[in-house]
Structure 1
Amino acid sequence: MGDTPFGFNRPSDDEGGGGSGGDPFGMGFGSGGPGDMNQFAAMLRQFADMLSGMGTAPGSGPVNWEMVKNIARHVVVEGGDPSVVTAERTQVTEALRLADLWLDEGTVLPAGIRTPQAWSRSEWLEATLPVWEKLVDPIAARMVDTMGGAMGGPGGELPPEMAAMAGPLIGMVKQMSGAMVGGQAGQALGALAKEVIGSADIGLPLAPDGVGALLPAGVAAFSEGLEVPAEEIRLYLALREAAHQRLFAHVPWLRQALLSAVEDYARGIKVDLSGLEEKIAGLDLSNPQAMQEALGGEIQLTPEETPEQKLALSRLETLLALVEGWVGTVVAASAQGRLPSAAPLAEAMRRRRATGGPAERTFATLVGLELRPRRLREAETLWGSLTELRGAEDRDALWGHPDLLPTADDLENPDLFLHAKELEFDLSQLEDTPAPKEPGDDADGTGTDDSPEEK
């Protein structure tokens, strides 16, 4: 009958395991009699106990996010998570408020931060977890379905006497899959928390509405090796955080568009179970400790490169580049004449984004996506040229609808986009210019001339 998934071999008829009395998972069950059924039931109970220890929560979704949070916090605490002292909270709050005042001169979008905050790494985890849940659950659901199908879902072959027990077993396997995804997510988010600077590091709206935040520990880490005063660095990073929040707060469609693009991409991810099969092949399922060790590695995620997924990736990369390019343009204009080191700080931030920082590693782990705004410089150049051509008000008006924004093709060929906008500008100027009067027209354009001489 061939091999089952994960190397649990079905014995052939010649081996005494054929028919309904076979051992479909290679677990050592023989004739299928009462003793074998009792052994199988005992194995299921042991398997359930193991999953309970892994922290899964049946019925609560594909991932137990309380477990994710606990794992991430453990990773953060291991690396050190100093509490934010009162002086640091005051410094961050004042920097964010001052940044919003400066940004008023760089953009017509109003302030988006109602609650400036300074976070510890654990506080960042707590505040951003709801958004991570939205991003990771689609991949977790795909992983759970894949594992359940591989272990005997619809279309699988099970002897009749074990059919009644198959449902609980497959349910446990799905539970195990959720635990695997949750453990990997916890490790990844804990690592990211140790490196982030604020709530908008990766260009996604992770903070609650109206909240802008910096992590003093992250600011300090970013400052290492930069010969720039700490206050200047903090203000520059506050400008970036506040600029992001203006977009997220006052471009109604942007938040959902970014998150939807990530979710759409994640739904097209293929779960590679080959590594897991090698680990589980021949594994003694009566040994929970061995099972936990075998399932402790990373899940391999690979894109299927469907047309829908390519479209989602292109949409996400373009949006991220436009967001980051706009932020860089607005921050540069607002910092001009105020922060002497704004240019080198911008370059340091550009390098951080372009070389694959924590955001890219986290997304590659969680959703199989390398999150990198590949056309960041092109987007900054385009936004800067638009500012010179049309001014900040017309530039920012492009965020009014997604169809108005530059496309991926526009970033590759910015001159065509700028020429089109220049033509629009020229046409609008013509529309505002009064038409020349025809001979015989009077001042009100009626075409009569009731001059005293003719009367």
Structure 2
Amino acid sequence: MSNPPFGFGLPDPDKRRENEPSNSGGEQPGSGADAFQQLGQMLSQLGQMLSQAGTSSGPVNYDLAKQIAMQRLNDKGGDKIGFGPEDKSGDSAVRDAAHLAELWLDEATILPAGASTTAAWSARDWVDKTLPTWQRLCDPVAKQVSSAWMQALPEEAKQAAGPLLSMVGQMGGMAFGSQLGNALAELASEVLTSTDVGLPLGPAATSALLPANIEKFTEGLERPSSEVVVFLAAREAAHQRLFAHISWLRQRLLATVEEFANGITVDTSALEQLAGQVDPSNPASIEQAMSSGLLEPQTTPEQQAALGRLETLLALVEGWVDVVVAEAVGDRLPGADALRETLRRRRATGGPAEQTFATLVGLELRPRRMRASSALWKLVGDQHGMDKRDQLWSHPDLMPTADDLDDPLEFSERLGGNGAGGDDLDPIAELERTQRAEERAKSEEQAKDDSTDPGDPDEGKGKAD
């Protein structure tokens, strides 16, 4: 971000002098009065910026982020909802597509409908509805970086800065807010549904499509827009069934992102170098410092483990949705196979939206193993049926692992004895047996500890006497 943020920077003296009236007082350019006037303008702009940025406190100024995102979307026509100039809302088409998709999904999964509300969103609506979740995802990153920034300052600099440190923190929050606002505007211009990045970003039990973005996505596909809308509605509805009825899934996904973010560490020696590049009189230098590359986080082994778990879980979600939607639409949509492949590639390769998210949170939300996951879910469903396939979601301990994605046939055989012809293993019963075994082990360990307890020291002393 090389441009000064929020539309202000040091005034251009040449342009300012062109617009100024002649100096009747005879003062020469660059005089003390001229310098004070320049400083006054800068402080006035700074005060106006701070007042317009809202009262958001914390590591990220979310009021500013929302203002920037909304303004950028206004410039792009981000309040458009319908599929065409004559369609003012898009609600009717979205509701009809969602209703049809839900009917088809009922035949392809044991999970019931998860959305109680179906809506057509504009890009601005997407920003407004998903911002609370973004706050949960971005706060850990900003806190870690802000904390490292403050800790990297020499002690004498902290004492000299005094109250100015709070302003530095506020400016840091504004810099993060500026980055977030621009990123959200990019994402809002591309996403097709509320679950398009694989996370439950929107309100619970709300299925949402963005008709204006879908209209742009449909261009060049050579498929009727109505077909594309139904296919995307089926994907959104399948995601919502998982997020609504698999109680642990939403929390596990978001918590894993938080775990990754909380583990961020920053090279303090680089921060010390960076601190010398910040000009307190130029707020733009703070944002330039934030985006200079010196703040590149160091990935720890704990983060790598969290990233691995997140990628596997995302792949399992996307693979399951891919298989269930393919079975639901079947031959009902002539272009379903082509749409399925297009969306597979879109999710696997990522676009500007995923790259933007990587900048925001520090990781890429790409289900790299989506095809392997699809193959596993398809195999389990073919060999053991829809019920057993979907029952695996009942508890995280029953879910396939990253190793299982490498060998789906072995997982399927393990699940059902000797595959399609063996005695099927009830995953719920197996989980209950595992829990009972763990409880017995704990009881035996406790009994062993009690038997070796030396007892009351006084009691032992009395016996010795």
TM-score range normalised by the length of the shorter chain: 0.7 to 0.9
Alignment partner of 1:394 is 2:388: yes
Partner of 1:383 in structure 2?
377
Q: For 1:81 and 1:59, how far apart are their aligned partners in 2?
A: 24
Asked if the contact 1:203–1:324 (Cα under 8 Å) also holds between the matched residues in 2, the reply is yes
Q: For 2:325 and 2:111, how far apart are their aligned partners in 1?
A: 13
Partner of 1:116 in structure 2?
118
Change (3 A) 1:366 1:262: same
**Letter paired with 1:102:** W
Change (3 A) 1:295 1:157: closer
Asked if the contact 2:111–2:242 (Cα under 8 Å) also holds between the matched residues in 1, the reply is yes
Partner of 1:427 in structure 2?
423
Asked if the contact 1:62–1:140 (Cα under 8 Å) also holds between the matched residues in 2, the reply is yes
Q: CA deviation at 1:288?
A: 3.6
Asked if the contact 1:272–1:299 (Cα under 8 Å) also holds between the matched residues in 2, the reply is no
Counterpart of 1:62 in 2: which secondary structure?
coil
Alignment partner of 1:350 is 2:335: no
Counterpart of 2:185 in 1: which secondary structure?
helix
Q: CA deviation at 1:270?
A: 3.3
Asked if the contact 1:56–1:176 (Cα under 8 Å) also holds between the matched residues in 2, the reply is no
Alignment partner of 1:53 is 2:49: yes
Change (3 A) 1:300 1:77: farther
Q: 1:65 aligns with which of 62, 65, 68?
A: 62
Change (3 A) 1:424 1:307: farther
Q: 2:313 aligns with which of 316, 319, 326?
A: 319
User: What TM-score do the two structures reach when normalised by structure 2?
Assistant: 0.75
Counterpart of 1:116 in 2: which secondary structure?
strand
Change (3 A) 1:284 1:157: closer
Counterpart of 1:212 in 2: which secondary structure?
strand
Rg (Cα) greater in structure: 1
Partner of 1:199 in structure 2?
194
Q: For 1:293 and 1:107, how far apart are their aligned partners in 2?
A: 48
Q: For 2:238 and 2:401, how far apart are their aligned partners in 1?
A: 21
Q: CA deviation at 1:150?
A: 2.2
Partner of 2:211 in structure 1?
216
**Letter paired with 2:156:** E
Alignment partner of 1:405 is 2:407: no
Q: For 1:290 and 1:373, how far apart are their aligned partners in 2?
A: 36
Q: Which moved more, 1:83-92 or 1:198-207?
A: 83-92
Q: For 2:137 and 2:294, how far apart are their aligned partners in 1?
A: 17
> Which ranges in structure 1 are unaligned for 5 or more consecutive residues?
1-42, 431-455
Partner of 2:80 in structure 1?
83
Partner of 1:7 in structure 2?
none
Partner of 2:148 in structure 1?
146
Partner of 1:125 in structure 2?
127
Counterpart of 2:265 in 1: which secondary structure?
strand
Write the deviation string for residues 10-36 of structure 1: whole angstroms up to 9, x where unpaired.
xxxxxxxxxxxxxxxxxxxxxxxxxxx
Q: For 1:65 and 1:391, how far apart are their aligned partners in 2?
A: 47
Q: 2:176 aligns with which of 174, 178, 181?
A: 181
Q: CA deviation at 1:263?
A: 0.7
> Which ranges in structure 2 are unaligned for 5 or more consecutive residues?
1-38, 82-86, 427-465
Partner of 2:263 in structure 1?
268
Asked if the contact 1:271–1:299 (Cα under 8 Å) also holds between the matched residues in 2, the reply is no
Q: CA deviation at 1:79?
A: 2.2
Change (3 A) 1:148 1:338: same
Q: For 1:290 and 1:109, how far apart are their aligned partners in 2?
A: 51
Q: For 1:71 and 1:59, how far apart are their aligned partners in 2?
A: 14
Q: For 2:390 and 2:374, how far apart are their aligned partners in 1?
A: 14
Q: CA deviation at 1:197?
A: 0.3
User: What TM-score do the two structures reach when normalised by structure 1?
Assistant: 0.77
Identity of aligned residues (%): 48
Partner of 2:238 in structure 1?
243
* Backbone CA RMSD of aligned residues: 2.8
